[in-house]
Amino acid sequence: MFVSIGAEICQQIQVVSCDILDSYILASRQCFPNAEITLDHFHIVKALNESLDAVRKSLRKTYQTHQEFKNIKWLLFKQAQNCTEEQTHLLNLAFEKSPTLHQFYIQRNRFHAIYQSATDAENMTHLLNDWIEQATKLEHPKTNKFIKTLQNWMANIASYANTFATNAVTEGL
C-alpha cells in the first residue's frame, strides 16, 4: 500500500504510531526509514490492565465466596481521583482482602502518571525504569511478562513523550 505513494514521500514521514506487533513495526521501519516509531500508548496501558485483571481473576477463582473481587474490573482501570466514594469503598474492601491487588493498582496508576508527566523520551525512559524497579518487587508472572514487554520495546514506548503520536484515529475507521 505505502509503496504506491513512492519512496520519496515515505522517506519524508517523520513519525509513525502502531500497535505492539512485530509485523507492524517491521513494516513501519521498511516503509518509513526516517520515521520515529512510537508504540500506541493505548495498547501499552491495555497490556498492563490485562495483567492487573489476571490478578483479579485469580483472586475470584481462589476466593469464590468473597464478593470483594466481584464487579470491580472496570474500577481497577480507573485512576483513584476519578472514582466516586462508593467506588473507592468497593476497591478498598478488595484491597483489604488482597494487599497484592492493592500494590498492582498503585503501580498501574503510577504507570499511567508517567504518560502524563514525562517531558521527553529520555525522561520517560528514566521514569519507566524506576517503575520497572518497583513493579519487579511484586514478583508476579503477569507483571513480569509486562515488564519484559516494556524492556523489549522501551525506546518505542518512550518516544511517545517526544511525539505524542497515537493511531487512535485510524483504529476508529
Report helix, strand or coil for 14: coil
Q: What does the pLDDT read at residue 158?
A: 98
How many other CB atoms are there within 10 angstroms of residue 22's CB atom? Answer: 7
Report helix, strand or coil for 18: strand
- Over residues 15-42, the mean pLDDT reads 93
- The C-alpha atoms of residue 68 and residue 55 are separated, in whole angstroms, by 13
C-alpha 55, offset from chain centre: 16
- The C-alpha atoms of residue 95 and residue 101 are separated, in whole angstroms, by 6
Q: List the beta bridge partners of residue 16.
A: 37
Taken in order 92, 93, 99, 102, the sign of the CA dihedral is negative
For residue 172, pLDDT over 90 is answered with no
What distances in angstroms separate CA 79 from CA 44, 83, 110, 162, one per listed residue? 16, 7, 10, 24
For residue 1, pLDDT over 70 is answered with no
For residue 173, pLDDT over 60 is answered with no
